Amino acid sequence: MVAKKSRLLATALPYLQIFSVFVQTPPPQSFDSTTRKGPRRFLMAGFVCYAVSIIVLVFSVSYINIIAINEEVLDYNVADFTRVMGCIQKSLYSVIAIANQLNMLFNYRRLGGIYEDIANQEKDIDDASQCFGGQGQRYSFRFRLACTVGLWLILLVGVMPRFTLLSMGPYVSWPSKILTELVIVMQQLKSLEYCVFVLLVHELVLRLRHTLLQLQVELQDCNHQDMLQALCVALKRNQLLIGRVWRLEGELASYFALPMTLLFIYNGLTILHVVNWAYINTFLDENCCRYDRFGTCLLLLINLLMACLLSQRCIDAYNSFPRILHQIRSLSASSDFPLLIRGLREYSLQMQHLKLRFTCGGFFDINLKYFGGVLITILGYSIILIQFKLQGIAETKFKSSSNSSV
């Protein structure tokens, strides 16, 4: 297996296996080239059957929830775009599940290439750093993975049912509520799978930055011609490795383009749907589940924030390279060695053109700036939604009170 050649992938393996159980990614064991084809085929056949059964479950959950939302709209007499919004939001269960299955099917080889690329880059980066004493001591990748993805995974699975089960209303039976909760949590885990790969890229960037900083330290007191030439070779190697990291991010962007795009759309529409029903229940003098609805919106936003925050941290680490290159260029040893000056200029030019951008296939960037835009957009649509519904609900309540008085 690729994880046997990579400590980083071996550390991330338990999380990837959990996501595989929830049918968010193919089993990592299926990429084990050392295993015979027979067991691998049986594993993939079993996973395909399991994925098909999950698809059937998601279809059933979507149908049950669409029927329930139609009954609820009729009983509450709010048969406007609330019905349309609710049906679209419930239908997205099936759309997201189908899109994720198709993405795993058509991008299976690409994911295997991503695993291979991460393992090979980790090996090459560690080999390049041996000349400078290896990697420095800092918070381990395992610790950072547990404090971000692991902790949020526990909170999401443990807290999400607390907010969403009761807010589904009395029109969905309890067995259907539990199955719906399983589908909701399962689809939110796609963001955590994305976060695992972002942390893998971030670790590679941090290791290359450490090597570059060590190269800067070596250059401060270096006057020997042969040593300067060796440092130029190390600088060029670092430049080629950071270029491979940039290409790796492009592969990740292509792999997660469709699932992450649909996840952002689903979370945004779900928040609007929750706000809509919270507003309806306020005018109907029902205070049930008000805090649960607020908690649901908060969890959906935080789940998107996690992906944007980790992507931003990786981008910031990548963007620190030009500053280090400028500091190296300012050293006296650099000014006396034209070959090193040319290498630094070429490296800086590469960093100017190869900007690290975590995107969903080029549709939008995943960073804190975009998350701020998503938050403002959701607030804007919520205000518009409330303004349009304010007059209609007030008039309906006034007419009903007038008819009862007559």
**pLDDT higher at 133 or 91:** 91
Average confidence (pLDDT) over 261-276: 92
Cβ pair 3, 13 in contact under 8 A: yes
Res 406: pLDDT? 47
pLDDT tens, 17-43?
A: 999 999 999 998 888 766 666 677 888
Q: For position 231, what pLDDT does the model report? A: 83
Does the pLDDT at position 284 exceed 60?
Answer: no
Contacts of 25-29 with C-beta under 8 Å, sequence gap 24+, read: 25/104, 25/111, 25/193, 26/104, 26/108, 26/111, 28/1, 28/2, 28/3, 28/115, 29/1
> Cα–Cα distance between 360 and 342 in angstroms, integer?
35
Instruction: For residues 348-358, give the mean pLDDT.
Output: 92
Report the range of poorest mean pLDDT among 4-8, 172-176, 218-222, 325-329.
218-222
- Higher-confidence position of 178 and 391: 178
pLDDT of residue 199: 96
- 176 — pLDDT class (breaks 50, 70, 90): confident
Predicted local distance difference test score (pLDDT) of residue 289:
60
- Out of 60-74, 129-143, 192-206, the most confident range is 192-206
pLDDT at 321: 95
Per-residue pLDDT at 389:
66
In this structure, are residues 271 and 133 in contact, taking their beta carbons and an 8 Å threshold?
Answer: no
Q: How far apart are CA 392 and CA 230, in angstroms?
A: 76
Tokens representing 218 are: 């070596």
Give the residue with greater pLDDT, 404 vs 358. 358
For tokens 């209609």, what's the residue? Answer: 392
Place of tokens 């795993």: 104
- Total-model pTM: 0.91
- Average pLDDT value for residue range 238-249: 95
pLDDT cut 90: percent of the chain above it: 53
pLDDT band with cut points at 50, 70 and 90 for residue 139: low
What average pLDDT is seen over the chain?
86
Residue range 326-341: mean pLDDT, rounded: 78
Both tokens of 122, joined, read: 């980790």
pLDDT at position 387 = 76
Give pLDDT, residue 367: 93
The mean per-residue pLDDT over the stretch 218-228 comes to 73
pLDDT band (50, 70, 90) for residue 303: very high
Q: In the structure, what pLDDT confidence band is assigned to residue 79 with cuts at 50, 70 and 90?
A: low
Is a pLDDT exceeding 80 seen at residue 168? no
> Higher model confidence: residue 30 or residue 145?
145
Rounded Cα distance, 242 and 45, in Å: 38
Beta carbons within 8 Å of 277's beta carbon, 6+ residues apart: 82, 293
Residue (of 107, 111, 115, 139) closest to 4 by Cα position: 115
Mean pLDDT of 34-57: 85
pLDDT at 207 over 70: yes
Could you tell me the CA-to-CA distances from 84 to 70, 269, 369, 381 in Å, in that order? 9, 12, 31, 16
Q: From CA 287, how far away is CA 271, in angstroms rounded?
A: 18
Of the listed ranges 56-65, 171-180, 214-223, the least confidently predicted one is: 214-223
132 pLDDT higher than 70: no
* pLDDT for 83: 84
Q: In angstroms, rounded to a whole number, what is the distance separating the alpha carbons of residues 376 and 49?
A: 42
